[in-house]
Amino acid sequence: KQAITTGGVTYRDQPWHKECFVCTACKKQLSGQRFTSRDEFAYCLSCFCNLYAKKCAGCTNPISGLGGTKYISFEERQWHNDCFNCKKCSLSLVGRGFLTERDDILCPECGKDI
């Protein structure tokens, strides 16, 4: 609530000291950094991904979707493109047909006996 004399930041039409404009979760300064928001609250990308991003069924890391990151979505699960591989032979299944066996995804060749 103090006057801004230098180095201010404007976010949602409100002025902030750059030292006061911080991530809602970790309190890291956001001035000059990439950030995003949810429900009017600003977050650094790391906190946003950890709190809100869907998790990859292959590697369990967040799928940010930022920067053009591509991912596969099937039923209730998502995978990074690089993680969408046959459980048995590791063949990439991006753009190919696949079969499911419980939580596993299989190429047609590996899944022919299920």
Classify residue 43: in a domain, yes or no: yes
- pLDDT exceeds cutoff 90 at 14: no
3-class state of residue 59 by DSSP:
coil
Domain of 43, in residue numbers: 9-52
Classify residue 32: in a domain, yes or no: yes
Cα distance between residue 114 and residue 110, in whole Å: 9
Single out the residue of 26, 30, 15, 82 nearest to residue 50, CA to CA.
Answer: 26
Please report, for the domain that includes residue 13, its CATH number: 2.10.110.10
Q: How many structural domains are present in the chain?
A: 1
Whole-model pTM: value is 0.67
32 near 19, Cβ under 8 Å?
no
Residue pLDDT, tens place only, 63-101: 876 666 788 999 999 999 999 999 999 999 999 999 999
Classify residue 29: in a domain, yes or no: yes
Question: What pLDDT does residue 108 have?
Answer: 94
